[in-house]
């Protein structure tokens, strides 16, 4: 019987490279992935050699520190394809990769060919939180006063309060005509722009 066999040789580290397959000292292939038809016993040896003088060191780091993480640094053979990746920590975003202070990529996953030593720095910046506007007004005019409006970061706890003028009583808070609270002091979390109206009614005599 004959069988199709595929053998694969992989260097144990990037400072070595595959040279050839030999059988009994005879070169049978220079392909790291070698496929052949097995008609007899074989004694294959994968031969490697050190990339002495033809390997480069890729150093990766983060700036400012603790704003993200990076992977992909190490020693690579000359001409190797290298990919370094940067992942931002929560609340931050990736900006760019620099080498010696010069921008080399704005892609978080940066792929290049190893032709020299590199000292790559992944830069991150803080993501500004979204802000929303809370508007407060009074109906009817001069029937009371309101406080608590302004611009707030997303997720902030906000309290709007209404105080009736003399001769009036607080009725409710409405937004686009829909009642949202009957409490003169109304607390909520900001997730969008809001436009509240404090409604007052004239106090019965």
- For 163, the token pair is 């105080």
User: Nearest to residue 76, comparing CAs of 108, 32, 120, 46?
Assistant: 120
Per-residue pLDDT of 134-179, as tens digits, reads 999 999 999 999 999 999 998 999 999 999 999 999 999 999 999 9
- Percentage of the chain with pLDDT > 90? 72
pTM of the model: 0.49
Q: How many CB atoms lie within 10 A of CB 203?
A: 11
Per-residue pLDDT of 10-24, as tens digits, reads 987 766 778 899 999
């Amino acid at each position: 019987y004959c069988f199709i066999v595929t053998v694969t040789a992989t260097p144990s580290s990037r400072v070595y490279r595959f040279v050839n397959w030999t059988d009994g000292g005879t070169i049978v292939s220079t392909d790291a992935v070698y496929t052949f038809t097995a008609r007899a016993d074989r004694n294959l040896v994968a031969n490697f050699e050190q990339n002495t003088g033809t390997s480069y060191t890729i150093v990766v780091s983060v700036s400012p520190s603790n704003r993200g993480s990076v992977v992909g640094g190490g020693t690579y053979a000359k001409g190797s394809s290298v990919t370094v990746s940067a992942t931002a920590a929560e609340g931050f975003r990736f900006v760019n990769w620099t080498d010696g202070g010069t921008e080399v990529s704005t892609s978080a996953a940066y792929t290049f060919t190893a032709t020299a030593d590199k000292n790559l720095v992944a830069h991150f910046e803080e993501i500004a939180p979204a802000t929303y506007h809370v508007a407060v007004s009074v109906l009817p005019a001069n029937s009371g006063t309101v406080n608590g409006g302004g611009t707030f970061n997303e997720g902030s706890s906000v309290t709007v309060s209404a105080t009736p003028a003399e001769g009036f009583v607080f009725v409710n808070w409405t937004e686009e005509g829909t009642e949202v609270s009957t409490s003169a002091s109304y607390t909520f979390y900001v997730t969008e722009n809001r436009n509240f109206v404090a409604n007052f009614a004239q106090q019965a005599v």
